[in-house]
A and B are shown apart, each in its own frame.
Chain A
Amino acid sequence: MPPENSDPSGRLPLAFTATGNASFLDFLAAHAPGMLPIGRGLPVGEVPASPHGTTIVACSFEGGVVMAGDRRATMGSMIASREIEKVFPADEYSAIGIAGTAGLALELVRLFQLELEHYEKIEGTLLSLDGKANRLATMIRGSLGLAMQGLAVVPLFAGYDLDRRAGRIFSYDVTGGRYEEREHHSVGSGAVFARGSLKKLWWPGMTPSDAVRTVLHALVDAADDDSATGGPDLARRIWPVVATVTAEGYRRVDDDALTAAVVEVESARRATGATGGDQR
């Protein structure tokens, strides 16, 4: 029987008309807990090799934030995908990027997007950016059991705060800890290298296009030293997913603009030889 019609008379079950809760996650937990990807126990034993997503970087700029993710997923030492996308709109004014077990992470993103839209429809208003960040923390905490068996998901969340009129970035740990980051942050296997790059290349009051170049540089630096991170693929023309979130909302940077930015980044690095170059 489909989960939405479990009452014998065919009427909507009581869980549907229960009042006072605008959370889809709570509704699912009460009505159809079997459908939750998180919070479920796993049988003992090794989890077979599964694709893992890698590096996500984000930095703030004047009036917003930019988030970028490379396109590689790895399974052990193999490349599982060259084209996986790991940066998504969470809603109109926020973006979520994911690193970790790809299957669970993608499901978590789907559930998080739905959670925000569900709230918006039921309450008729958007959640605050802090509210969204806290909701995500709860979801991560719910999957701690999976994380302990090696199926960790670590998101990076960034959005435009409509009350403060500024971009903000939040990072998480597997226990659901939520930390607000100033300026920039990165997660995933190449995060260490990307962070070093961001530290050198970020400055306050950047324009959006400066910020797009900076995150591309950081991803190239991460791909340089981390085998699980893929750089821009010039031969296949596969570029990282780059998105900005400003007062106008979530905008994915289109392929033409990215091609130009990637060419610019590559030539800047080439011009001064192997040292990394003058990257601004």
Chain B
Amino acid sequence: MSMPFYVSPEQLMKDRADYARKGIARGRPVVVLAYDEGIAFATENPSRALHKVSEIYDRIAFAAVGKYNEFENLRVAGVRYADLRGYSYDRTDVSARGLANAYAQTLGTVFTTESKPLEVELVVAEVGATAEEDQIYRLSYDGSVADERGHVVMGGQAEQIGARLSQDWQPGMDLSGAVRLAVQVLGLQPEGEPRVIPPDQLEVAVLDRTRPRRAFRRLPAAMLTDLLPTQVDDPPPAPSHPAEQG
């Protein structure tokens, strides 16, 4: 019988983290940013059925990058968690913080105990009565949580896009301004001119604090066409890619 090689815990964790990070960086970025009447989510996603941004509860939404089957599973778990909590207590007792904690424990446990970490990164956002009460939590593959203010980027080129957002995002932007900025930064490329992403290749949704109960709403392509500036030249053909890469 051969002896297994000794692998130090540091090396083991580092390998897992590298593995997860590589998987996440392959996906297309998701941008989450606050505007005056809520929180907007945008990503490039040609599919109309396989979403990366979804409703969890009345005031809570979920956005993810990474492996579709893994984050879809977490999304369903989140809906069940929220509905169960709302049913056992009251609808007002369901909070993004509780959900973020449950996700963090799940991601953390999988990262340390299972053979493969989840290759996902999540945002759980809750819209409050005012912009100051909005909450945006960003969760990583290892279960770490960050309480973000204003804007978040996940997925490929997150650093480049994040830097641009910190420069151009301001509190109190209106919806069209926020969506325009989001689409603009999604088109950034590591080198060369930024791409112009056509509205039918975009998945955009908002948590709108002015809506009575369920704040989540998807913005259809027709509405995006009105919000976005008219494009002067033909956009380059969007590369086809499976939702798995999302």
A residues near B (Cβ < 8 Å) are: 2-5, 9-12, 15-17, 19, 24, 27-28, 31-32, 35, 110-111, 114, 117-118, 121-122, 124
Contacts and interface: CB of A to CB of B under 8 A. Distances in A.
Contacts of A111: 87
Contacts of A3: 84, 88
B139 to A, nearest CB: 13
A11 B105 contact: yes
Nearest to B81: A4
Q: What does DSSP make chain B's interface, helix, strand, loop or mixed?
A: helix
Interface residues of B, number: 26
A35 B85 CA distance: 11
Contacts of B77: 12, 16-17
Contacts of B7: none
Contacts of A15: 80
Interface of B: 49, 51, 54-56, 73-74, 76-77, 79-81, 83-88, 101-103, 105-106, 108-110
Contacts of B109: 9-11
B76 A28 contact: no
Contacts of B85: 2, 4
B88 A12 contact: no
Contacts of B101: 10
23 contacts: A4-B88, A10-B109, A12-B102, A12-B103, A12-B105, A15-B80, A16-B77, A16-B80, A17-B73, A17-B74, A17-B76, A17-B77, A24-B80, A24-B83, A24-B84, A24-B87, A27-B80, A27-B84, A28-B87, A32-B84, A35-B87, A35-B88, A121-B79
A121 B81 contact: no
Q: What does DSSP make chain A's interface, helix, strand, loop or mixed?
A: helix
A19 B84 contact: no
B88 A121 contact: no
A28 to B, nearest CB: 7
Between B54, B77, B83, B84, the greatest number of chain A beta carbons within 10 A of the residue's beta carbon is seen for B84
A146 B13 CA distance: 55
Given A9-B109, A124-B49, A16 B87 contact: no
Nearest to A121: B79
Given A4-B84, A110-B87, A121-B54, 14 more contacts: A3-B88, A9-B105, A9-B109, A10-B109, A11-B106, A11-B110, A16-B76, A17-B73, A24-B84, A27-B80, A118-B80, A122-B76, A122-B79, A124-B51
A19 B106 contact: no
